Amino acid sequence: MSSATGLATGKLPFVVWVLAAGTFLMGTTEFVIAGLLPEMAADLHVSTSHAGLLITAFAVGMIVGGPTMALATLRLPQRHTLIGALAVFALGHVVAALTTSFSVVLAARVVTALATGAFWAVGFVIATTAAGPRSATRAVGVMMGGLTLANVIGVPIGSFVGQHTGWRGPFWALAVLAALAAVFVGRFLPRVEQPSEVSVRAEVRALRQGRLWLALAAAVLIMGGVLATYTYITPLLTDRAGIAASAVPLVLIAFGVGALAGTAIGGWLGDHRPMATTITAAAATALILLAMIPGSNSPVAAVALVFGMALTGFTVNPVVTSLAVRFAGDAPTLTSALTTSGYNTGIAVGSLVAGRALDSSLGLTGPALVGAVFSALTLLPLIALALRGTGGPRGSSPTSPPTPTIHRPQTPPQRPHAELRLRTPSLEKTP
């Protein structure tokens, strides 16, 4: 799928951008509920905290769907898996938009999440394979950028549309866009045969790395901390900070911009000082969320703190993702899926505990307190990982890319050396 020209000029293959567009849609559907929570709760006749289960349910579906679909589709044509995932994703939104039952919407969210898990599990492998070993990290960053961009553009637009058309409007829009994406993938994604050497046993053996589980624990806790607060950010902004409901989408844009900047910072600094970057960012996230408890009385301070928690919290994500896949060595598919499951485990647990805190005597500041605790606990696995070291698995270089040995049957075995000659033409002139 990769091309010599594209690699030589530093351009990523077109398929990586197609996959980023898919993650944009799926990131939008996961987080847009936060901006529509009051409207959905009123229309479906449940409490706001109960409506928050729609975010929890999606996260649970991703927890199960990521690793399950990674193994189930390991030997299936990747192109067919992506098309099927997008089709199920679209159908789930149609069902949710047509029903008046909270239980049916909840079930549709779980099914949609399973499809999202399949898309992510296969998409990461396609992106890294297409980009080649020297651009694999950047390809993963672009895919994650699609998810982050969903917070900058997709979620605020979905929230704005939902306030004017009802929450079903964004669901219909996502269904149509996903169906179009399925057609687009079917038309433009190259047909590639699955490698015969793919082994479920090798994927499972890679999970024996203790450091892998420390990285996954950090992913669970940091995402749980940020999303515990973000899930219930709308009532905090409107009822405590005094921000008008019509202005909430603008605050969500601030969150998205912070997340996008944090992802970029983490990707940049994480290559050089992974543990210093993650430990500092996690500690800063905990302090910002603590400051949100008294600071959310002020509209200006509330917006600044929402931006800050996204900036610092999302700085951790690309680093721990890269480390987890690096630790897996030659079997990254299941590990990539488990990393996604780790983030969604944090979302599920964090939003569930935050919902309980919202209904307790803590009230509107309860989710922020829960988020601060989760973020502080992130320091434990990060410090343990720093003490154990972050080099690759036995026999690999500590500075090797996160996906050093993805199966690439369609790529000539001499590709890395060809890339080196293209990038450093002066070497060819050396006698």
Alpha-carbon dihedral sign for residues 314, 316, 321, 322: positive
Q: What is the pLDDT of residue 137?
A: 59
What CATH number has the domain bearing residue 88? 1.20.1250.20
Q: What is the pLDDT of residue 409?
A: 39
The verdict on residue 421 lying in a domain is: no
The verdict on residue 215 lying in a domain is: yes
Give this prediction's pTM.
Answer: 0.69
CA distance 10 to 115: 32
Alpha-carbon dihedral sign for residues 254, 147, 187, 179: negative
The verdict on residue 226 lying in a domain is: yes
Assess contact for 232 and 354: CB atoms under 8 A.
Answer: yes
Neighbouring residues of 136: CB distance < 8 A, sequence distance ≥ 6: 127, 128, 401, 402, 403, 406
Assess contact for 266 and 312: CB atoms under 8 A.
Answer: no
Q: What is the pLDDT of residue 53?
A: 86
Neighbouring residues of 217: CB distance < 8 A, sequence distance ≥ 6: 342, 380, 381
The verdict on residue 331 lying in a domain is: yes
Q: For 247-283, what is each residue's pLDDT tens digit?
A: 888 888 888 889 888 888 887 777 678 899 999 999 9
CA distance 19 to 17: 5
Neighbouring residues of 245: CB distance < 8 A, sequence distance ≥ 6: 38, 163, 234, 238
| Cα–Cα distance list, 57 to 62, 97, 223 (Å) | 9, 17, 16
Q: At what angle do helices 274-295 and 299-328 cross, to 10 degrees?
A: 150
Assess contact for 183 and 61: CB atoms under 8 A.
Answer: no
The verdict on residue 389 lying in a domain is: yes
* DSSP code string of 52-110: THHHHHHHHHHHHHHHHHHHHTTTS-HHHHHHHHHHHHHHHHHHHHH---HHHHHHHHH
Q: What is the pLDDT of residue 332?
A: 64
Q: What is the pLDDT of residue 79?
A: 80
Length of the chain counted residue by residue: 431
Q: Closest by alpha carbon to 89, among 75, 109, 71? A: 109
Q: What is the pLDDT of residue 286?
A: 96
The verdict on residue 415 lying in a domain is: no
Q: What is the pLDDT of residue 189?
A: 73
CA distance 46 to 370: 23
Domain that includes residue 294, residue range? 13-191+202-408
Q: What is the pLDDT of residue 195?
A: 53
Q: How many CB atoms lie within 10 A of CB 201?
A: 8
Split into its structural domains, the chain has a count of 1
DSSP character for 153? I
The verdict on residue 322 lying in a domain is: yes
Token duo for residue 129:
């394979």
* Phi and psi, residue 289, nearest 5°: -70, -35
The verdict on residue 328 lying in a domain is: yes
Q: What is the pLDDT of residue 245?
A: 85
CA distance 325 to 206: 10
Series of mean pLDDT values for 10-residue runs along the chain (431 residues): 42 82 87 83 88 84 79 75 90 94 93 87 75 67 78 82 88 93 80 57 71 90 92 89 87 87 81 87 96 92 94 89 75 74 85 90 92 96 88 46 39 43 40 38
Token duo for residue 165:
């058309």
